[in-house]
A and B are shown apart, each in its own frame.
Chain A
Amino acid sequence: MKVKEIKSNTKKLKESDLASIIKELHSLGELIRARQEEKQAVINEFNSEDRRFLVGKLSQRTINSSIKKTRAELKRLNQEIRDTIKESKEKLNEIDKLISAQSPKRFRVSLSGVR
């Protein structure tokens, strides 16, 4: 009697794909924090320049130039933070999609085999 072999496969999560997305997500988180710290540094630097201006050690022209520069820097950093947040949301959606695809395939065994 020829024996019929059972060939049923379960869904298998591609761990390498998940690991790569998680790694990217982690680096995006670090990027957000880095930009936030950069922004804080820009603010602190401007504050010290402003203090010097108020004491009279800095000219109006220089502070005006510093204001322009600081505003541009803050704008750039804000945009970068927003872009990174958007990217991290995309990564989270990718994870959700990958994991949702792992919804279990239903198997049932009987004397006749696996269904």
Chain B
Amino acid sequence: MVQTKKMNEATFAKLVKEFHAVGELIRARQEEKQAIIDSFGLEKKRYSEGKLSKKALESSVKKTNKEFSRLDKELKRCITKVTVIGNASQRLASQQDPRIFIAKTSGIFSFNKKAKRKSPVRKKKVKKKFVRRKK
């Protein structure tokens, strides 16, 4: 009994789910970054109004830059993860390239579309004979 290729739907669904989760994570980190910017903006405003000391603002600057660095790193990691998931999905989709079947009175047969490659035959180098010319 010939069988057609069957895509593993569970694997595909899992990949799609991962895409969704990573997308949400990216958006969450972007919003977190925006919240940090806004929070620093407020602190800067308080400093300008004289409600915050320079030392406190300096500490805030250090903390904020550290947070930016962490979030950027996380965002980059998420983007890489999406590429990895994308490659896995593409591989899975490519594997579904249909098998060719031919119906005949004697039954149904499958055959590979790609013919086997013959290994290239190396040509032997013909050595030229060195003939001395007669004087």
User: Is B90 close to A, CB under 8 A?
Assistant: yes
- Taking chain A's interface residues, is the majority helix, strand, or loop, or is none over half, making it mixed? helix
- Taking chain B's interface residues, is the majority helix, strand, or loop, or is none over half, making it mixed? helix
Within 8 A of B (CB), among A26-52: 26, 29-30, 32-33, 36-37, 39-40, 43-44, 46-47, 50
CB within 8 Å for A8 and B37 given contacts A19-B20, A77-B98? yes
Within 8 A of B (CB), among A1-16: 1, 3-6, 8-13, 15
Q: Which residue of A lies closest to B42 (CB)?
A: A6
For the complex formed, measure the closest distance between the CB of B101 and the CB atoms of chain A, giving whole angstroms: 5
A110 and B26 CA atoms in complex are apart in Å by 26
Looking at chain A, what size class is its interface with the partner chain? 35 or more
Within 8 A of A (CB), among B15-32: 16, 19-20, 22-24, 26-27, 30-31
By a CB distance below 8 angstroms, the chain B residues around A96 are 82-83, 86
A15 and B29 CA atoms in complex are apart in Å by 13
Residue from the list B27, B61, B65 in contact with A13, Cβ < 8 A: B27
List 26 A-B pairs, Cβ < 8 Å. A5-B41, A6-B44, A9-B37, A10-B37, A12-B27, A15-B24, A15-B27, A26-B12, A33-B7, A46-B103, A50-B105, A71-B102, A77-B98, A78-B98, A81-B98, A85-B93, A85-B96, A89-B90, A92-B90, A95-B19, A95-B82, A99-B23, A108-B65, A109-B68, A114-B40, A114-B41
